[in-house]
Amino acid sequence: MKKKKLLSLSLAAALALSAASASVYAAPTNDVNAKVHVNKQSKATDFVVGKLTVPSQKSAKQIVLNYLEVNQAQYKLGKGAAAHFKVISEAKDELGLTNIKLQQTYKGVPVFGSVVSAHVDKNGVLTSVSGELAPQLFDKKGLKKGAQLKAPEASKIALADLTAKIGKAPELDSEKAPELVVFVNGGEATFAYSLEYSFLSPEPGNYQYFVDAKNGKVLASYNQIHEAKTSQGVVAPSGTNSVATGKGVLGDTKSFNTTVNSNGSHLVDRTRGNGIFTYDAANRTRTPGTLWLDADNVYNAAYDGAAVDAHTYAAQTFDYYKNEHNRNSYDGNNAQLISTVHYGRSYNNAFWNGTQMVYGDGDGSTFIPLSGALDVIAHELTHAVTDTTADLIYQNESGAINESISDIFGTLVEYHANNKPDWLIGEDVYTPSVAGDALRSMADPTLNGDPDHYSKRYVGTGDNGGVHINSGISNKAAYLLANGGTHYGVTVAAIGNDKTADIFYRTLTQYLTPSSNYSHYRVATVQAATDLYGASSAEVASVKAAFSAVGVN
């Protein structure tokens, strides 16, 4: 968190496949009532909804693959399109539709960021296909020859570049074996090695690299320290489940679950998923640190406050997703929630290191202990939800949507817990000597210098292409949808927090894909509202108005 606007409350980080596209509706290929959304630049379809196929007894996977094969020209895929996809996941959604997510491949190699999400109803009818694919790979000169560089050489190149970038060789906690991918950028495509390096010294990092598999050139690199992955897991101590009390960062008293044995009270909640665990870094920079242990199950010491809040707010975020969206932890599969507090000295940051949350104490001026804000914790853990669903690329417009989704649910969790709820982000821990300010305002993003309309979006390269800056566009739309109001001459009728939450959750988990931009985001959110409330509903009208009010058409 080097600057206010660049506060790194984020998880996924990557390179965007394409720039923004406008809403263009083309003639559908099957159902006369179907709607097809086409990327203005690539001229390829990125969203189609309707009765796209006839009823079938075939598997949902085969129905989707057959559709892509028949409509390969629509997607600019080339012949044999069905063979160019690998199933990522298949599951029933909350409406009983079968959701299939497919990874695009080329010659068996995954295309970075190219995923489609499709839905098949109970009658075997394909009802939607969402997501932009990399078109015309068969024509790309950069893919005419395969990899010429060996994977170990790519790793050496990336590590040398990383060492130069951070000033000294990192002390690696883990590294991911090089993976061959198709890397697409600016209309060009090449085979590249994808590599990842995780470390805490000399500074926290979880760097992603792409190295050209032909000439060894570093194509892209970025710190994705907040990207969530499945934790390897920790073992809970034996003992008895208990309920403790303690005071948080702001001095308020809370109750929370612990595990008590002959050693004392551990900050371990075994009643939620596979457990919630809170550790003490003791102002060092090693994680997870020491599992928090208290003598009497009463956590009232000042030093306890950061741990009390981290533990309690992780549980409240878990409860929100479980109770409101039937989602078991961030991955939907009861993943452990692990937190470390008192990380470093005067550390003005909070991050996800790949398997757990880490919170600094702040310097007392810019921040107080960052675990003291429920919306910060829920924001971070929502990035983990995003990473395990839409996996929005953390750059440019897809990254701004990623950031905004976390702001939206950070706020909604705060309302759900009735924890001094408002439409501000991080106000409880930011600049304690300044009353009324916050990191961001969703009601009025311009208070922090962020745009509240698409026409005013930031188009530079800073802030990873404006991921925090341009999140204000979506934040304002969400605020208007929940609360109503008139903006840029467009009046939006309020639908309340609960319906807003349901619509955005369905948008995120069912329709957004890694390369979604604002144009795709709008049609995806309209479709999510249509699924839940009907095409002619007041809710759909409000969603359309909210996006129109912020200039996304």
pLDDT of 339 higher than 50: yes
Kindly state the average pLDDT of the residues 327-342: 97
pLDDT of 513 higher than 90: yes
Classify the C-alpha dihedral 475-100-392-70 as positive or negative: negative
Q: Which long-range contacts (CB under 8 A, 24 or more apart) does 119-123 make?
A: 119/93, 119/510, 120/60, 120/63, 120/64, 121/96, 121/97, 122/96, 122/97, 123/55
pLDDT of residue 515: 92
pLDDT of residue 173: 85
Please indicate whether residue 463 or residue 308 has the higher confidence score (pLDDT): 308
Instruction: Tell me the per-residue pLDDT of 388-397, one tens digit each, with 9 for 90 and over.
Output: 999 998 889 9
**Percent of the chain residues topping a pLDDT of 70:** 92
Instruction: Tell me the per-residue pLDDT of 290-305, one tens digit each, with 9 for 90 and over.
Output: 999 999 999 999 999 9
Instruction: Give the catalytic positions in this structure.
Output: 380, 468
Domain ranges of the chain: 25-133, 240-372, 396-549
The CA-CA-CA angle for residues 89, 95, 96, to 5°, reads 60
Kindly state the average pLDDT of the residues 258-286: 97
**Please, which pLDDT band fits residue 386 given cuts at 50, 70 and 90?**
very high
pLDDT of 13 higher than 50: no
**Please, which pLDDT band fits residue 497 given cuts at 50, 70 and 90?**
very high
Kindly state the average pLDDT of the residues 101-114: 96
**Percent of the chain residues topping a pLDDT of 90:** 81
pLDDT of 11 higher than 80: no
Residues whose CB falls within 8 Å of the CB of residue 513, separated by 6 or more in sequence, listed in order: 115, 116, 117, 130, 131, 132, 390, 391, 520
Q: How is domain 240-372 classified at the CATH fold level?
A: Elastase; domain 1 (3.10.170)
Contact predicate 141/150, CB 8 Å: no
Contact predicate 189/182, CB 8 Å: yes
Q: Which CATH architecture has domain 25-133?
A: 2-Layer Sandwich (3.30)
pLDDT of 431 higher than 90: yes
Kindly state the average pLDDT of the residues 64-90: 92
pLDDT of 188 higher than 90: yes
Task: Identify the CATH number of the domain defined by range 396-549.
Answer: 1.10.390.10
Q: Which residue has tokens 């996800």?
A: 352
Distance CA 35, CA 20 (A): 20
Kindly state the average pLDDT of the residues 131-140: 93
Most confident of 14-23, 164-173, 410-419: 410-419
**Please, which pLDDT band fits residue 200 given cuts at 50, 70 and 90?**
confident
Based on its alpha-carbon atoms, the radius of gyration of the chain, rounded to whole angstroms, reads 23
Q: In what order do the strands lie in the sheet with 253-261?
A: 293-294, 264-266, 253-261, 240-247, 298-299
Give the tokens for residue 29.
């290929």
**Please, which pLDDT band fits residue 32 given cuts at 50, 70 and 90?**
low
Instruction: Tell me the per-residue pLDDT of 253-266, one tens digit each, with 9 for 90 and over.
Output: 999 999 999 999 99
pLDDT of 230 higher than 90: no
**Please, which pLDDT band fits residue 12 given cuts at 50, 70 and 90?**
very low
Give the tokens for residue 207.
């760097």
Q: What is the mean pLDDT of the chain?
A: 91
Q: Which of 241-255, 266-280, 457-471 has the lowest mean pLDDT?
A: 457-471
Give the tokens for residue 196.
């990842």
Kindly state the average pLDDT of the residues 494-510: 98
Kindly state the average pLDDT of the residues 34-57: 88
pLDDT of 141 higher than 80: yes
pLDDT of residue 232: 55
pLDDT of residue 9: 34
pTM, rounded to two decimals: 0.91
Instruction: Tell me the per-residue pLDDT of 152-182, one tens digit each, with 9 for 90 and over.
Output: 999 999 999 999 999 999 999 889 899 999 9
Instruction: Tell me the per-residue pLDDT of 538-552, one tens digit each, with 9 for 90 and over.
Output: 999 999 999 999 999
Please indicate whether residue 102 or residue 28 has the higher confidence score (pLDDT): 102
